[in-house]
């Protein structure tokens, strides 16, 4: 039987977006390789308690804000390792290498230290995903109002509830529009967001995404379930509403999913809301970043992240900001 080891791992993130990496010290397996701080969960210990203990032992800090994020499994030659990742956004004390290890604050987009432990590559990708997925709302707002709102969103200062201005992932989703309209709007979105960190994903239409040079595609649930291989040249996300869909998305190795509806929403009045308890329960061991969707407001961010969400997907509430 394979040896299974559980570890609690911390993504310490500063206001400027940099995350803390540590170099594994001499004498440990994989010495010299870089990792996120953390360590093995002891028998009878919760993942969060292990996280707090390891942060004290390795860095001499105490996390004051930690939310469960992803669970990634990885097979090393001698063991299967289950990494319980937490995002830590506030702590007491100044991190210092208490075990003689080197530390480095790094931008996930551009590491200057390495190599990273092999299990961590998908984590860096996930860290690059913005915390907001904004869904287009042209059908209801009208073209002019929507593009005005979009151009305001890509400039700073429009997201006060999230602290500093943040990039977001933008989804072109206009089910009633003709292909020509969608193409025109998609191009307009790319033009307006060029030069910002905003990335565009196109709902359902992989060919359109490639034709206009969008960054990715977002698969509706039915399309997700038909899909046997993800596109590798595009960012790829999907809509999920059940454990079965979540599992399929994980098997395909998608970049993210949405899980909905968390709460009652005007766009899907008949759907039964999941509520935060079921939401968190379904995501307890989930490996992909998940956006909470359905009746979400920017002010729900903390609540969502406390329940395993990567961030929030919003339509109406985002453009009203």
Ligand X SMILES: Nc1nc2c([nH]c(=O)n2[C@@H]2O[C@H](COP(=O)(O)OP(=O)(O)OP(=O)(O)O)[C@@H](O)[C@H]2O)c(=O)[nH]1
Residue ranges at the known binding site: 24, 35-38, 58, 120
Given ligand X, Mg ion, none, residue 81, with its beta carbon under 5 to 8 Å by kind, binds ligand X
Binding partner of residue 124 among ligand X, Mg ion, none, CB under 5 to 8 Å per kind? none
Q: How far apart are CA 131 and CA 311, in angstroms?
A: 4
Q: Pick the binder of ligand X from 36, 147, 185, 276 (CB under 6 A).
A: 36
The owner of tokens 């998940």 is: 290
Q: Please name which of 106, 17, 107, 7 lies closest in space to residue 58, comparing C-alpha atoms.
A: 7
**Residue 119 interacting with ligand X (CB under 6 A):** yes
Whole-angstrom distance, CA of residue 204 vs CA of residue 216:
10
Residues that contact ligand X, how many (by CB under 6 A): 17
**Of the ranges 113-121, 147-155, 194-202, 204-212, which one interacts with ligand X (CB under 6 A)?**
113-121
Q: What part of residues 125-144 is at the interface with ligand X (CB under 6 A)?
A: none
Question: Which 3 state secondary structure label does DSSP give 149?
Answer: helix
For the chain, how far is it from start to end, CA to CA, in angstroms? 53
DSSP string covering 177-198? S-HHHHHHHHHHHHHHHTTSS-
Residues near 283 by Cβ (< 8 Å), separated by ≥ 6?
A: 246, 259, 290, 307, 308, 309
Residue at token pair 């961030």: 311
In the list Mg ion, ligand X, none, the entry touching 205 (Cβ below 5 to 8 angstroms by class) is none
Q: Which is nearer to ligand X, 40 or 320 (CB)?
A: 40
Lookup: tokens for 197: 């960190």
* Binding partner at 131 among ligand X, Mg ion, none, C-beta below 5 to 8 Å by kind: none
Q: Is 266 in the site for ligand X (CB under 6 A)?
A: no
Q: Which residues bind Mg ion (CB under 5 A)?
A: 39
Q: Which does 142 bind (CB under 5 to 8 A by kind): Mg ion, ligand X, none?
A: none
Query: What is the closest distance, in whole angstroms, from the C-beta atom of residue 110 to ligand X in the complex?
Result: 18
Rounded to the nearest 10 degrees, how much is the dihedral formed by the CA atoms of 108, 109, 115, 116? Answer: 40
User: CA–CA separation, 136 vs 133, rounded Å?
Assistant: 10
30 binds ligand X (CB under 6 A): yes
Residues forming beta bridges with residue 239, ordered by sequence position: 258
Site residues (CB under 6 A) for ligand X, limited to 69-108? 74, 81, 83
Residue of the chain from 19, 20, 38, 305 that contacts ligand X (CB under 6 A): 38
φ, ψ at 302 (rounded to 5°): -65, -45
* Stretch near ligand X under the rule CB under 6 A, chosen from 117-125, 184-192, 287-295, 296-304: 117-125
Q: Select the residue interacting with ligand X from 4, 14, 31, 40 (CB under 6 A).
A: 40
> What does the binding site for ligand X look like in residue numbers (CB under 6 A)?
5, 7, 9, 28, 30, 35-36, 38-40, 54, 74, 81, 83, 117, 119-120
């Amino acid at each position: 039987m394979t040896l299974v080891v559980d570890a609690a791992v911390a993504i310490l993130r500063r206001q400027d977006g940099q995350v803390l990496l540590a170099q594994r010290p001499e004498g440990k397996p994989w010495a010299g390789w870089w990792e996120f701080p953390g360590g093995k969960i002891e028998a009878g210990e919760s993942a969060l308690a292990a996280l707090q203990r390891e942060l004290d032992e390795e860095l001499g800090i105490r996390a004051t804000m930690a939310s469960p994020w992803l669970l990634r499994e990885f097979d090393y030659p001698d063991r299967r390792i289950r990494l319980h990742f937490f995002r830590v956004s506030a702590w007491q004390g100044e991190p210092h290498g208490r075990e003689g290890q080197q530390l480095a604050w790094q931008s996930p987009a551009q590491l200057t230290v390495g190599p990273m432990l092999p299990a961590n590559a998908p984590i860096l990708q996930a860290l690059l995903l913005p915390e907001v997925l904004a869904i287009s709302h042209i059908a209801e707002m009208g073209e002019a109002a929507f593009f005005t709102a979009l151009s305001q969103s890509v400039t700073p200062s429009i997201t006060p509830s999230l602290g500093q201005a943040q990039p977001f992932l933008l989804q072109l989703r206009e089910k009633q529009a003709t292909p020509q309209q969608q193409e025109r709007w998609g191009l307009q979105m790319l033009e307006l967001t060029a030069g910002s960190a905003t990335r565009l994903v196109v709902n359902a239409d992989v060919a359109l995404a490639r034709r206009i040079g969008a960054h990715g595609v977002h698969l509706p649930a039915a399309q997700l379930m038909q899909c046997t291989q993800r596109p590798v040249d595009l960012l790829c996300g999907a809509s999920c509403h059940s454990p079965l869909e979540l599992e399929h998305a994980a098997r395909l190795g998608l970049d993210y999913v949405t899980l909905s509806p968390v709460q009652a929403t005007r766009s899907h009045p008949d759907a039964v809301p999941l509520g935060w308890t079921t939401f968190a329960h379904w995501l307890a061991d989930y490996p992909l970043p998940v956006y909470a969707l359905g009746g979400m407001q920017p002010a729900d961010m903390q609540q969502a992240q406390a329940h395993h969400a990567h961030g929030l997907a919003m339509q109406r509430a985002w453009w009203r900001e």
